[in-house]
């Protein structure tokens, strides 16, 4: 069959994205990592850019564990023991000892009865959320929830959907009050830490609001939180938004691909919920799991996170994030308060955002610009992401480059 009739439509869409200034274009290819020296952290080399060495300010590896010797060694040992891949989906013959042990450890880490691994956090949300939604369920979602939540809701086709203003518990209260006679069940879903801004949901108030209306619905209210950017990067012991706020989700989704420095996603909840999801979640049943070696590497990362070294790295991460926010404010840039290592720099203009990204790149700094429609119109920003692998000298270098930019 020919693509001649549809390719012009695809090209028109690509041209439209280019004109809007939101086309991603070619991906930058990392070809090497240079060791820390002279008080600076790691530097990255890119294909096509000669010997230039870049400071990476757009990585989710908040604790720098992707380069930790113990994590690398654990993965290498497991590859030697089990091979490069799982060879099958879990229920056929793809379950390895490291998968089972990691699930046990993650459940214990979060104080839950059980946990369940997926190939990615996106696959986790898309696999889990529709299974919690029936044909008589209202789904209520924060206005700034991640794309994985949005698409999971679309896939679920709930009886009703409502969006509450970002972090607005009064708006959530209104939605739950006005729909009490219309649905059997409610599923309320939110990010823990919001990936574009680094702010977090008030889970304590969120829980209280949902508990107040629990008896209004025959099948109750199920709360789902995706804290992929919070776990391992937020809270004194890295337990994320729940630790910061004191709230607690019924179903908690997170990732191994950010602070843990590996790959994959997971969900943790009651034993009954996890048993149910193993039988019903398509992205678990029909998709290969993370490799046994990745699971072993994640176990090593969890060991580090739960150690004195992990606590020290979390403290370092908070201090570096505070330093960057303070430096931005002194330079007159707009950001948000907080302790999370996502530090947004609001430019609020698409052209200026693109210009700042280019300016930083010219100074050998990798940073990500977020423009409409990825973020709401008027919220255009540069998203800076701090890692415990950064140094104070790295942040001084970044702030000096920002000082040279004409706003």
Based on the residue annotation, tell me whether 68 is a catalytic residue of this protein.
no
Q: Residues 59, 61, 141, 195: which is the catalytic one?
A: 195
Q: Is 161 a catalytic residue?
A: no
Distance CA 226, CA 254 (A): 6
Burial 156-166 (b: 16+ CB within 10 A, else e): bebbebbbbeb
Question: Of 126, 116, 123, 124, which is closest to residue 91 (Cα–Cα)?
Answer: 116
Report whether 60 contacts 369 (CB < 8 A): no
| 275-279 CB contacts, 8 Å cutoff, 24+ apart | 275/114, 276/131, 277/116, 277/127, 277/128, 277/131, 278/90, 278/91, 278/116
Of 200, 229, 340, 390, catalytic: 229
| H or E element that contains 222 | strand 221-226
Query: Contact, 349 vs 388, CB < 8 A?
Result: no
Number of Cβ atoms within 10 Å of the Cβ of 266: 26
Residues 6+ apart with CB under 8 A from 356: 345, 347, 367, 369, 382, 405
**CA-based R_g, the chain, Å:** 22
Q: Active site includes 258?
A: yes
Q: What is the DSSP letter of 35?
A: P
- Measure the CA dihedral 285/288/293/294, to 10°: -80
**CB burial of residue 150 (10 Å; 0-12, 13-18, 19+):** middle
How far is Cα 15 from Cα 12, in angstroms, rounded to an integer?
5
Catalytic residue, from 68, 110, 258, 340: name it: 258
260, 64 in Cβ contact below 8 A?
Answer: no
Rounded CA-CA distance 314/237 in Å is 7
Q: What residues are labeled active site?
A: 195, 229, 258
């Amino acid at each position: 069959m020919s693509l001649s009739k549809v390719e012009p439509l695809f090209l028109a869409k690509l041209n439209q994205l280019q004109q809007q200034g939101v086309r991603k274009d070619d991906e930058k290819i990392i070809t090497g990592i240079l060791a820390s020296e002279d008080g600076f952290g790691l530097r990255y080399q890119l294909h096509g850019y000669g010997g230039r060495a870049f400071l990476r300010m757009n990585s989710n590896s908040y604790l720098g564990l992707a380069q930790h010797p113990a994590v690398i060694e654990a993965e290498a040992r497991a590859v030697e023991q089990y091979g490069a891949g799982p060879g099958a989906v879990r229920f056929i013959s793809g379950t390895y000892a490291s998968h089972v042990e990691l699930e046990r450890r993650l459940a214990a880490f979060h104080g839950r009865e059980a946990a369940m691994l997926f190939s990615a956090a996106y696959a986790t949300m898309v696999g889990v959320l529709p299974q919690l939604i029936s044909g008589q369920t209202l789904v209520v979602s924060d206005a700034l929830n991640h794309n994985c939540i949005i698409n999971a809701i679309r896939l679920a086709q709930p009886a009703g959907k409502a969006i509450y203003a970002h972090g607005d518990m009064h708006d959530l209260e209104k939605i739950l009050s006005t729909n009490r006679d219309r649905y059997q069940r409610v599923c309320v879903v939110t990010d823990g830490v919001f990936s574009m801004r680094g702010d977090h949901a008030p889970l304590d108030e969120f829980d209280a609001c949902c508990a107040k209306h629990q008896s209004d619905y025959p099948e109750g209210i199920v709360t789902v939180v995706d804290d992929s950017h919070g776990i391992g990067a937020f809270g004194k012991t890295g337990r994320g938004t729940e630790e910061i706020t004191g709230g607690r989700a019924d179903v908690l989704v997170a990732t191994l691909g950010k602070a843990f420095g590996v790959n994959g996603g997971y969900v943790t909840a009651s034993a009954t919920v996890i048993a149910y999801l193993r039988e019903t979640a398509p992205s678990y049943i029909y998709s290969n799991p993370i490799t046994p070696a990745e699971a072993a590497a994640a176990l090593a990362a969890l060991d580090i996170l739960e150690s004195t070294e992990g606590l020290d790295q979390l403290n370092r991460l908070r201090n570096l994030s505070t330093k960057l926010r303070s430096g931005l404010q002194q330079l007159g840039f707009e950001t948000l308060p907080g302790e999370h290592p996502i530090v947004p720099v609001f430019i609020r203009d698409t052209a200026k955002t693109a210009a700042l990204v280019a300016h930083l790149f010219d100074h050998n700094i990798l940073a990500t610009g977020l423009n409409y429609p990825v973020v709401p119109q008027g919220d255009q920003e540069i998203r800076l992401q701090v890692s415990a692998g950064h140094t104070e000298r790295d942040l001084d270098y970044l702030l000096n480059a920002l000082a040279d930019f004409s706003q």
